[in-house]
Structure 1
Amino acid sequence: MAQFSDISLAVVDVVISSYLDAYSLCRLGLTTRDLYQTLVVSQNWARHCELHFGVPCSTSKGGTALKLTILNSKALLPPTNTRMLNWRDVFCAANNDTIFIRAAHDPIDIFKILNASPTILLTESELQMRQEIILLQGLRKFPMSRTLVRLYAYHIRKHLLNL
C-alpha cells in the first residue's frame, strides 16, 4: 500500500485538495514544508473565496495566475489583465473581517472595518480584493445603505480606471 508521502505534490494540489474545505486545506499544508509551499499558492483558495464571499475569480491558463473580475463584468476588463494574487492571504484576511462584519450594527461599522488595517500583510491588489469583499458583505447586511452603494460604485470605478 502506498504512503501519502509517495503521492505527487501536483496530484495532491489538483485532485485531493479540491475536495477539502478551507480549514482542512490549512491543516494539510501543515504536514510538510513541500506540501505547504504547494498549497499556499493553490488555485483552490480562489475557489474558496468564490464560495465563501461571493467574489467571482476565474482561473486563467498556466499556473496560479488568476484573472480578477469584479461583479462578473468580463466585458469591461481586457483579457490580458491577469494578476498574481495570494488567494490564501485574501481568504484569511476576509475570514477575519467576517467576524467583525457579523457584529456590525450599522453601516458606519462597515466603514471602520474597511479603514482598519488587515491582520495579514497584503499587497495592493490583495488589499483591493479585501475591500471589495468587505463592501460586498456590508451591502448584503445593509442593502439599503446609500453610502455603501456609493462607496462600492467608487471602488469599482477606481479599479476600472487603474486598468
Structure 2
Amino acid sequence: MPTLLELPAELLELNVCHFLDVTSLTQLSIVNRSFQHEITQCSKLWGLLIARHFGYVDKSPPGCRFGNSLNVQEEVKPRAISWKAVFIAAWRDSLELASTALQENDVVQIYHKQKQCPELLLPLEAQIREELLLMQGLRKFPTSVDLVHLYAQAIRQAHFVPRASATNTAIALRQLAV
C-alpha cells in the first residue's frame, strides 16, 4: 500500500486535502516539494479555506477572469488567482483587525495601507483582499458609512467589465464575417 506522499497530487487534492485545515495543508506542502509546487499556490483548496475562515466565495463569472481583447485570432488565457497569497494577506489583515481597541478609522487605514503590502498581489487578488478586509470591518462596525461606501465601491470594481467601443465591436464583427 503506497504512503500518502506517494499518491498523485491530483488524488491528494481531490480526496484528502479539502478536509485539512490551513496548518495541516501547510505542513503537508513542506514535506512534499512537488505537492507544494503543483497544488498550494493557485489551488482551489486555498479558495475553500478562504471561504471557511472569512466567508468569501468567488462567484465571479468566468468572463471576468479573462482578458478583454477583441482580437478574435488571439487565444485568451485565464489568469490564475494565487489563493494562498490572498489567504496570507487576509490573515495578516485579520490579525491587525483583532485589536480590542480597534476603531472605524483603523479599518480605513489598513484598507489604504494595502498598497504597501509586501506581497505583490495581482489586481484581481487585491480586489478579493479589499472585499475580505471590508467584510471583516463591517462585521465589527456595521453602521459605519465610510466602510459601507468603500465596500460598495469595491463590489462595483469587482463586477465591472470594460465595454468595447462601437468601433472595436464593428471591427470584431467584420473579422467574424470574413
Asked if TM exceeds 0.5, the reply is yes
Deviation at 1:79, TM superposition (A): 4.9
Structure 1 runs (4+) deviating above 6 angstroms are: none
The change in CA–CA distance for 1:80 and 1:158 in structure 2 (over 3 A counts) is closer
Deviations 1:132-158 (A, max 9, x none): 100000000100101111111112223
Write out aligned runs for 1:137-148 (5 A): 137-148=136-147
Distance 1:129 1:113, change over 3 A: same
TM-score by length of 2: 0.75
* Residue in structure 1 matched with residue 63 of structure 2 by the alignment: 80
Residues 106-142 of structure 1 deviation map (CA, whole Å, 9 limit, x = unaligned): 1100011111222422111111111110000000010
Q: What's the % identity of the aligned pairs?
A: 32
TM-align CA RMSD: 1.7
Asked if the contact 2:46–2:84 (Cα under 8 Å) also holds between the matched residues in 1, the reply is: yes
1:5–1:48 distance in 2 versus 1, CA, 3 Å: closer
Bigger Rg over Cα: 2
The 1-side partners of 2:131 and 2:118 are apart by 16
Secondary structure of the equivalent of 2:31? coil
Aligned length: 145
Q: Does 2:47 match 1:54?
A: no
Equivalent-residue separation in structure 2 for 1:120 and 1:23 (angstroms): 20
> With structure 1 as the length reference, what TM-score do the two structures score?
0.81
Question: Could you tell me how far 1:56 is from its partner in structure 2?
Answer: 1.3
Unpaired runs of 5+ residues, structure 1, are 58-67, 70-77
Does the CA-based 8 Å contact 1:110-1:138 persist in structure 2?
A: yes
AA in 1 matched with 2:111: L
Q: Determine helix, strand or coil for the equivalent of 2:43.
A: coil
**Residues 1:43 and 2:44 are matched in the alignment:** yes
**Aligned residue type for 1:51:** R
Structure 2 residue identity aligned to 1:46: G
Matches within 5 A, 1:111-150: 111-116=108-113, 117-150=116-149
Unpaired runs of 5+ residues, structure 2, are 66-78, 163-178
In structure 2, the partner of 1:160 is 159
Deviation track 1:64-101 (CA, whole Å, cap 9, x = no partner) reads xxxx53xxxxxxxx552235211111011100110111
> Could you tell me which residue of structure 1 aligns to residue 102 of structure 2?
105
- 1:161 is paired with a residue whose SS is coil
Q: 1:95 to 1:28 in 2, by over 3 A?
A: same
1:162 deviation in Å?
Answer: 4.2
1:15: Cα distance to partner? 1.0
Q: Which has the higher helix share?
A: 2
